[in-house]
Amino acid sequence: MKHAISLISFVILLSLGVSAQISVAPAVGGYIVHRTERHDGEQRKVGQMTTPSFRIGAIGSVVLSNKLALQTGIYFAYNTFKFDNVGPYSNTKANVNALDVPIQVVYSFHQMSSGHFFVGLGPWVAVNLGGKTGIYNGGTNVIREKIHFGNGDNDGHRRVDLGLSASVGYELRKGLSARIHFQKGIKNMYPEKIDTYRLTSYSYGLTFAYRLPLSK
């Protein structure tokens, strides 16, 4: 949580100190989540999406120059994923609600008559708010449990994830934009301190936004 607060505070202070054009863009998008487990050097994918995840929020932008801008988004994200079990149960489905905060330096390419392409790169923070798992057997809901977030031995996942984010997109002159985004978690989300076990995630998807200028 301290890392998330520090990054958000940095963006706010930097934005206040820059005399430039500021805008905000309501945004909505969908994406796919994959979770990767590494145990004793062997890696396997444990979270294969079968239904899309969604996020809704806003993107704030501070123009630094003709080509560069600092952007940060804040999204409420609904993550869902499914993985196969070993044993009598067929699969497990889970949903996790989170607060996503990507922070990117965005480079805009040459302005064309209709708009411009852009690319972005920077850090990303996610704060898990809550979630549930459901164990299924032949389509029947067998067990549903609440996911506990924290760093204790009895917790299922850590609450805060850190990683990198990247995007590429196109923005029309009137402010409507579409971007393909990629996010990769680099923090071990398994709370117990076991060196041979790591649980990380990555996601990719498409987000639409509409820019509303706040200052000139």
Which pLDDT tens digit goes with each residue over 94-136?
788 999 999 999 999 988 888 999 999 999 999 999 888 777 6
Report pLDDT for 71.
Answer: 94
pLDDT at 2 over 50: yes
If one counts the domains in the chain, the total is: 1
**149, two tokens:** 């977030």
Pairwise CA distance, residues 7 & 127, whole Å: 12
Q: CATH number of the domain at 154, please.
A: 2.40.160.20
Query: Across residues 186-194, what is the average pLDDT?
Result: 77
Which pLDDT tens digit goes with each residue over 33-76?
887 777 665 655 555 545 689 999 999 999 998 899 999 999 99
Report pLDDT for 137.
Answer: 66
* pLDDT band at residue 80 under the 50/70/90 scheme: confident
* pLDDT band at residue 6 under the 50/70/90 scheme: low
Which pLDDT tens digit goes with each residue over 86-99?
555 556 777 889 99
Per-residue buried b or exposed e for 151-184, using 16+ beta carbons within 10 Å of the residue's own CB: eeeeebbbbbbebbbbbebbbeeeeebebebbbe
**How distant, in Å, are the alpha carbons of 67, 153, 215 from that of 34?**
33, 24, 39
Which pLDDT tens digit goes with each residue over 167-186?
999 999 889 999 999 999 98
Report pLDDT for 34.
Answer: 81
Report pLDDT for 126.
Answer: 93
Report pLDDT for 167.
Answer: 97
Report pLDDT for 20.
Answer: 59
pLDDT at 13 over 50: no
Domain that holds residue 36: 2-213
Pairwise CA distance, residues 163 & 185, whole Å: 4
Pairwise CA distance, residues 44 & 46, whole Å: 6
The residue ranking higher by pLDDT, 147 or 202, is 202
pLDDT at 166 over 80: yes
pLDDT at 84 over 90: no
Tokens 């996601």: give the residue.
Answer: 203
